[in-house]
Structure 1
């Protein structure tokens, strides 16, 4: 029953948006009575939190898997494949990404967003520390900058749908990441 409610809530959020979503609409979409819905959730916000948690967990798993799969590869391969994997994960449910980033109050997903960023940042910092890039910047600093840059650009790419070919975007963002890790010319 919980699965049915979450699927219905996901659909309602995509079709009607956060503000128009209600427990009655979610229950109707799930084919249950509103009273039955309240046996599992306290209300709309609890359901939305569960939908966002599922979305965030799936996104985190996809990104972490792609990054850790390539840890032994060359830096360019790791950067390219990680950017491509994040982009694919965001594109997999672009409309939910839009709901999460543009419709939900930040309080709904801030904790999960911070946890996801921290997890990915730690993975990148660990990788950079092991690689010992020639640039004299702390791995934690470089990871913080890179993760937030890649996140913002990939999210905006998916939501704005610019007329930039996907492979060009991935290639250019990979170049940007790698350029940040190169030694500075003085």
Structure 2
């Protein structure tokens, strides 16, 4: 039953966004009564937060899988491949993506987003320290990874929401170049 409610919540968020989502719409889409829905979730925000946490977990799993299967590849290959998976995973219905970036952090004081960023950061740091040692000092590398993860995240979200006249592959190539250039040793 919980999975059905969460699937309905995701569908409603994708169609109507956070503002248009309601427990009544979610219950109707899940083909249950509002009373049944309230046995599992006390309010709309609890459903939305659960949907967004599940979405974040799935996205981290996909990015992790891509990075680990390409761990031995040259940096441009792994960066481009990882960014492609991230872009694909974030390329959801704009109302859903807006709910993720605008309302998700408000619902849990940003904990889920920070956890997502930390998990991706740990993957990037693991890759860089084991496969590309000597790029920067450890402290400098941690700072660089923190900044890189948030830069990539922001640019990817803006690309998907703004839909600029930049072809997808060109965006990925530019973002790959930006990430690789940023990670070069500092003078």
User: What is the TM-score when the length of structure 2 is the normalising length?
Assistant: 0.89
1:91: which partner in 2?
Answer: 91
Alignment counterpart, residue 183 of structure 2, candidates 176, 181, 184: 181
Provide closer, same or farther for how the CA distance between residues 45 and 92 of structure 1 changes in structure 2, counting only shifts above 3 A.
closer
> Which 4+ stretches in 1 moved above 6 angstroms?
none
- Alpha-carbon separation, structure 2, partners of 1:94 and 1:67: 26
Q: CA RMSD in A?
A: 1.9
Provide closer, same or farther for how the CA distance between residues 94 and 88 of structure 1 changes in structure 2, counting only shifts above 3 A.
farther
Provide closer, same or farther for how the CA distance between residues 65 and 105 of structure 1 changes in structure 2, counting only shifts above 3 A.
closer
User: What is the TM-score when the length of structure 1 is the normalising length?
Assistant: 0.89
How far does residue 106 in structure 1 lie from its aligned partner after superposition?
2.2
2:70: which partner in 1?
Answer: 70
Provide closer, same or farther for how the CA distance between residues 15 and 93 of structure 1 changes in structure 2, counting only shifts above 3 A.
closer
- Alpha-carbon separation, structure 1, partners of 2:60 and 2:143: 21
1:59: which partner in 2?
Answer: 59
- Alpha-carbon separation, structure 2, partners of 1:133 and 1:92: 37
- Per-residue deviation, residues 57-88 of structure 1 (Å, max 9, x unmatched): 11111111112221111111111111111111
How far does residue 135 in structure 1 lie from its aligned partner after superposition?
4.6
Q: How many residues align?
A: 184
How far does residue 9 in structure 1 lie from its aligned partner after superposition?
1.6
Confirm or deny that 1:116 pairs with 2:116. Answer: yes
1:154: which partner in 2?
Answer: 156
1:132: which partner in 2?
Answer: 133
How far does residue 133 in structure 1 lie from its aligned partner after superposition?
4.1
Report if the CA contact (8 A) 2:15-2:96 is conserved.
Answer: no
Residue segments in structure 2 that go unaligned for 5+ positions in a row? none
Report if the CA contact (8 A) 1:133-1:181 is conserved.
Answer: no
Match of 1:63, SS state, is helix
Residue segments in structure 1 that go unaligned for 5+ positions in a row? none
How far does residue 183 in structure 1 lie from its aligned partner after superposition?
3.6
- Per-residue deviation, residues 112-149 of structure 1 (Å, max 9, x unmatched): 11111001111111211121244557321221121111
